[in-house]
């Protein structure tokens, strides 16, 4: 069964950093492009970042470019999102999923940026 478990969220002050983890199971994540998404209260879920399978390249939403870095550890079947210089507008529940044949959404991990 394809499954994603997100973790690593928390409360952080503006300008702070967090590293989110996305543990994939039921399939080899190395064979798939994987993306991070986020959903703020009262808003639609939006794309944050993606890492491709074949060339290990990545792409980011304009709002996070230069601050967030997506990476993967194939041995752990885990995808990470390193977030720096966090802003209040980054507050959201963060989710991950594969780009092709997306699975059921996980529970997500809450990121709150506030002083």
**Which tens digits make up the pLDDT trace of 78-105?**
999 999 999 999 999 999 999 998 899 9
Q: Give the separation between CA 114 and CA 91, rounded to whole angstroms.
A: 8
pLDDT at 107: 96
**Strand duo 46-51 + 58-60: pairing:** antiparallel
The tens digit of pLDDT for each residue in 21-54 reads 999 999 999 999 999 999 999 999 999 999 998 6
Angstrom CA distances, 27 to 2, 11, 77, 80, 87, stand at 6, 31, 9, 17, 34
**Sign of the CA dihedral 31, 33, 12, 67?**
positive
44 close to 34: Cβ distance less than 8 angstroms: no
**Average of pLDDT values for 44-68?**
93
Q: Give the separation between CA 46 and CA 99, rounded to whole angstroms.
A: 14
């Amino acid at each position: 069964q394809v499954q994603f478990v997100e973790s690593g969220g928390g409360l952080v002050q503006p300008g702070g950093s967090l590293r989110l983890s996305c543990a994939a199971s039921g399939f080899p994540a190395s064979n798939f492009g994987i993306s991070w998404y986020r959903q703020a209260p009262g808003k639609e879920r939006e794309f944050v970042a993606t890492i491709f399978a074949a060339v290990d390249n990545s792409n980011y939403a304009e709002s996070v470019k230069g601050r967030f870095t997506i990476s993967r550890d194939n041995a752990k079947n885990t995808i990470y999102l390193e977030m720096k210089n966090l802003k209040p507008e980054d507050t959201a529940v963060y989710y991950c999923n594969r780009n092709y044949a997306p699975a059921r959404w996980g529970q997500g991990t809450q990121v709150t940026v506030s002083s």
